[in-house]
Structure 1
Amino acid sequence: MAKSSQKKLETEGVAVLGLGRFGSAVVESLTALGHEVLGIDSDGTKVQHWADHLTQVAQADCTDIEALRQLGVDQFKHVVVSVSRDLEASVLTVLALQELEIANIWARATSKRHGLILERTGAHRIVYPETSMGDRVAHLVTGRMIDFIKFDDGFAIASTAAPEHLHDKTLADADVHKRFGVNIVGLKRHKVKFIYAKPETVVHADDILIVGGQADQVETFAASTGEDR
C-alpha cells in the first residue's frame, strides 16, 4: 500500500519514480524550471527528504501498478524511471507504466544491454547518465572545451574560448564552416547578454564561442584555440 504526503497535483507535470542520485538530480532540475513533480520511492527516508519540496511525494513500490494508479501516475504524460541499479525492478516499472498507457516514458539504464531490454519493454527514451557523463568529461579533460554535449547522431555542441586566429575578425571573414566544418551559433561576452551569431559579428579575444557540428570537427576547432593561424 502506498503512503503519500499530498499537496495539489497537476497532471501536466512529471512523475519521477526513484529518488536516488539520478532521480533527485532530475527532480531538482524540474522544480527549478517550475514544473510540478510527483516523486515516488520505496525508501521512506528519501521520501521524507522531498516531502516539503514537491507537489506530491509518496512511498510506494514502483513496480506495483495498483499503487501507481492510486497515486495518479496514469494521469501523467511524462514519467522518468530511475529505480536504482536493479534491472528487474526497472523493467517491471516500465511494464507497469506501459499498462497505464503512459505516453512518454524515460528510463535510466546502466548498460547498453539494460537499455535494450527497457526499450523492448516499452520505454520511449533511454538515458545513460554514467556513459554520457564519462564521454563528456573525456572530451573536456583532453581538449580545450569549456563544455561539451554530444547527441546520438554524432552532432555536438560545445563552448570554447575564441581561437587567436579569429580575434578581431567578423564571422563572415573567419568562415569557420569552410575551414573546420562547424558553425558558430553564438557568443558569450563578459557582462553582455548572449549574442546570436551573424556574419558581421566581430570576435573579441575574451569571447566564449558556442559551436555546433560533428563531434570530431568540433574537437578540431576547439584544439585550434592553442594555435596561431
Structure 2
Amino acid sequence: MASRLKTLGREKHGASTIAVIGLGRFGTALALELVKSGREVLGIDSDEKLVQANAEELTQVVQANSTDEDALRELGIPDFDSAVVAIGSDLEASILTASLLLQLGVPQVWAKATSVSHGRILQQLGVHHVIFPEMDMGKRVAHMVSGESLDYIQLDEDFVMAKTEVPESFEGKTLSEMQFRSLHGVTVVATKKPNDNYKPSFPETVLNTGDVMIVAGRTKKVEEFCRMGW
C-alpha cells in the first residue's frame, strides 16, 4: 500500500494530486468534488469507519495518524501538489498536522478553521490558505434569508459577489445605460436568462425582468445595491 500511495504523489499523469486529511462531512464532500473535477485524491483519517466508507469513491484512502511525521512521509505526502487539513473537532491535531505539512514542504497547504482564534494560529504557522466553512456559509445564508440576494459570496475582506434578479425598472435597458459602476459602485459581471446559462456581460447586454445578474464590488456597495428593491 505504501508504495502505491507514494506513486500517487510522484507520478502526476497530468492531474494534480491532493491529500485530504480528515474525512468528516466537510472533508468527504471536498474530496468527492475534487475527484469529480479530475484530481487524484488521497483521503486520510484515523477513523477506520470513515476510511472504509470512502474506499470506493476516492483515488486512494488510508487510515493513519496525521500528527505522525513518519506516517506522512511513508504515505509520500511531500510529493503531493496540495494538502487540505479538514480536521474540525480536534484542534490540536489540526494545528500539528498543518505544521507537519509545512515542514514537509507541501507546496500548497489549506486548512479548515473552526473559529477566529483557530484560524489566527493556522495563519501564524504559515498555512497558505485558511478557510472558515461554517462562518462563510452562515454569512452566505444570512443574505439569502434576508431577501437581499439570491446568493452571496465573499471573495476578500471587502469584496463580494452577489446574485440578484433584474427588477421591472431595468426592463429593456442596456448595462451602458444603467451606469451601475459610476452610479452605484458595482459591476455586473454576468447575466442569465430563464432556462439558459450564465453569459459574460458587455456594455450592450440588454436586461429583462426575470433575468439574473451577478454583481461584484465592495461589500457595502453590493449590499446597498441588492437592498434597493428598485
Fold similarity call, TM over 0.5: yes
Q: Which amino acid aligns with 2:196?
A: V
May I ask how many residue pairs the two structures share in their alignment?
Answer: 225
Scaled by the length of structure 2, what TM-score is found? 0.91
73 and 31 in structure 1: CA distance in 2 versus 1, 3 angstrom threshold: same
Q: SS at 1:105's partner residue?
A: strand
Corresponding residue for residue 224 of structure 2: 220
Report whether the alignment pairs 1:75 with 2:79: yes
2:41 to 33, 37, 52: 37
CA distance in 1, matches of 2:66, 2:25: 16
Larger deviation, residues 37-46 vs 80-89:
80-89
Name stretches of at least 5 consecutive residues in structure 2 with no aligned partner.
11-15
Give identity over the alignment, percent: 44
TM-score, normalized by length of structure 1? Answer: 0.91
TM-aligned CA deviation for residue 164 of structure 1? 2.2
Alignment partner, residue 98 of structure 1: 102
Between the aligned partners of 1:109 and 1:6, the Cα distance in structure 2 is: 27
Q: How does 1:1-229 map to 2 (within 5 A)?
A: 9=8, 11=10, 12-224=16-228, 226-227=229-230
Do 2:44 and 2:64's aligned partners in 1 also have CA atoms closer than 8 Å?
yes
Instruction: Give the aligned residue type for 1:204.
Output: N
Which contiguous aligned blocks of 4+ residues in structure 1 show a shift greater than 3 angstroms? Answer: 2-8
**SS of the counterpart of 1:145?**
coil
Gaps of 5+ in 1: none
Distance apart, 1:207 and its partner CA: 0.5
Corresponding residue number in structure 1 for 2:13: none
Cα-to-partner distance string for 1:119-144 (whole Å, 9 max, x where unaligned): 22231111111111111111111133
**One-letter amino acid matched to 2:85:** V
Q: Report deviation, 1:105.
A: 0.7
CA RMSD of aligned residues (A): 2.0
One-letter code aligned to 1:120 = Q
